[in-house]
Amino acid sequence: MKREIVLPSTLLETGDDLKPGLTTYKIGPNIFSGILGLYEKTNSKEINVIPLKGKYYPSIGDRVVGIVTKFQVFSWNVDINSFHEAILPFSNAIKKERQFYSDLNKLISINDVIYAEIISFDRFSPPTLSIKKKGLGKITEGYIYEMTPGKIPRLIGKNQSMINMIKQMLGIRIIVGKNGRVVALTQDFNKIEILGEVIQKIENESHVPGLTDRIKNLLESKLNKTS
């Protein structure tokens, strides 16, 4: 498995049966990169690059951490670090039918942080959120971090291995939004600082192999120092 750094216009593959994805384009049989990212050969016919920069591209089923920016007539507007604000319709947030509008602002208001699922998105309408499922909803306490959305899979790791290791070693609960926002559910300043360093390291070194070991070492040395 070789990962290669590619730039806009880097030739990735050649083949008439290959298709460009969201991050690539095709001229004749040639597929080129459109972004700065990492390219890894796979068996897929659709050629894509893992982005190293940029905003979140919404996808149905993704769980995201959003910040409420507006209180509208039928919905809240929510910033999800994407190219459009998402919408959380009241009906996707409340269970009771007989709710008054004036109560809603107490439920969720501007600058609140929510953990939500994207339930619909296409090129003609903004992403729509829901917080009705278990585990979703308003986050009332914790510390919020930002990282490049394309690097979130590195924070999670294969089969959640990386994030589970971090949670276990720090002994805290962590919410990971696919849109690049991470929330540590703790008020322990020391652990918040350590997690901040971990996230910074993943941000800077996501393209360098052997990341899991380096994160483990970082956590060990930091935790030893404080205990």
Partner 1 sequence: MSQFKRSDGRANDELRPIKAEMHVLKNADGSAYFEMGNTKVIAAVYGPREYYPKQLALPQESMVRVRYHMIPFSVKERKSPALTRREIEISKVIKEAFGGCIKKDLFPRSTIDVYIEVLNADGSTRVASINAVSLALVDAGIFLYDLVAAVSVGKIHDQLIVDLTGDEDQNSEADMPIAMMPSLNKILLLQMDGTLTVEEFNNLMKMGIQAIKKIYEIQKETIRSSLESVLKMYGQT
Partner 2 sequence: MSEFKYGVFIPKIKQKFILNLLNNKKRVDNRDFIEYRKIKIKYGHIPNADGCAEVQLGNTIVIAGVKLDLTNPYPSEPDRGTLIVNAEFPPVASPDFEPGPPDENAIELARIIDRGLRKPEVVDFKKLCIVPGKKVYGLWIDIYALNHDGNLIDAAGIATMAALLTAKYTKVDVSPTGEIIRTNERLPLEVINFPVYITHVKIGEHLIIDPNLEEEMIADCKLTTIISNGNLIGGIQKSGSGALSIEDINQALENSLKIYPRIKEIITSSVK
Among 19, 53, 133, 173, indicate the residue that binds partner 1 (CB under 8 A).
Answer: 53
48 or 186, CB closer to partner 1?
48
**Using rule CB under 8 A, residue 86 touches partner 1:** no
For residue 84, the partner it binds in partner 1, partner 2, none, with Cβ less than 5 to 8 A by kind, is partner 1
Rounded least distance, CB 192 to partner 2, Å: 8
**What is the Cα–Cα distance from 217 to 227, expressed in whole angstroms?**
15
DSSP 45-103: SEE--EESS--B---TT-EEEEEEEEE-SSEEEEE-SBSS-EEEEGGGT---SS--HHH
Residue 227: count other Cβ atoms within 10 Å of its Cβ.
5
Among 7, 60, 110, 185, indicate the residue that binds partner 1 (CB under 8 A).
Answer: 7
CB 118 within 8 A of CB 58: yes
23 or 186, CB closer to partner 1?
23
Cα distances from 178 to residues 69, 97, 143, in angstroms, run 19, 31, 17
Rounded least distance, CB 77 to partner 1, Å: 9
33 or 77, CB closer to partner 2?
77
**What is the Cα–Cα distance from 52 to 111, expressed in whole angstroms?**
28
Rounded least distance, CB 134 to partner 1, Å: 31
# chain residues binding partner 1, by CB under 8 A: 29
In b/e form, how buried is each residue of 113-134, taking b as 16+ CB within 10 angstroms? Answer: bbbbbbbebeeeebbbbbbeee
Note the residues at the interface with partner 2 (CB under 8 A).
Answer: 67, 69, 79, 111-113, 139-144, 183, 187, 189
Stretch of residues binding partner 1 (CB under 8 A), selected from 60-68, 80-88, 154-162, 167-175: 80-88
Binding positions for partner 1, rule: CB under 8 A: 5, 7-9, 22-23, 25, 32, 34-36, 51-55, 83-85, 123-124, 148, 150, 204-205, 207-210
